[in-house]
Amino acid sequence: MRPKTIDEINERILEGSAVVVTAEEMKEIVKEEGVKKAAEKVDVVTTGTFGAMCSSGVFFNFGHSDPPIRMQKVWLNDVEAYTGIAAVDAYLGATQLSETQGMEYGGAHVIEDFVRGKEVELRAESNGSDCYPRKEIVTEITLDDVNQAEMVNPRNAYQRYKAATNSSGNVLKTYMGTLLPNFGNVTFAGTGEISPLNNDPEYRTIG
């Protein structure tokens, strides 16, 4: 079998004749037809994956109250959000911790509550001004109540994390989650068999 060149594949893409499959589909083709035939048959394997990470979060535009308030400090279920954006905008980071529950609840939990349709307490404070006279607001909101909610994931293209466990006798709080002592659990991150980095560890075809 003569290897395909990138130029040949690009030409097929422009012609509309390229065979494009997902990484999951490619696994099945290889199982059924073998590596050689699969390579001959398929031109492009899409390997886009998604995994929320420590930089993930949500930009909110809450809309104006009556009278209006310039939100200088915002909490969602007691999890503080960053407000140095606009009058009623805030950014909630997934890893921000609750001021009342600590490690038990944080930004990611708030995001999950919104997605599940639950009510979330919005609390905001301001110094007040002529344009925005209100100095405080406490209300319950759902995802349907806000003008905008846009999730961003600056670092989620793909990761090569495998798994983590804990051989010590103490509970460890890590960015891979809570690790129980004496190998009590294993946490993992990644997309397993469809991970582009696991399938192409030498970066020969990722692009």
Could you give the residue numbers annotated as active site? 131
Cα–Cα distance for residue pair 180/22, rounded to 1 Å:
36
Token readout for 30 is 């290889």
The strand pairing partners of 178, in sequence order, are: 173
Q: Give Dmax (Cα) for the chain.
A: 75
- Nearest residue to 150 (alpha-carbon basis) of 89, 71, 84, 96: 89
Cα–Cα distance for residue pair 178/24, rounded to 1 Å:
30
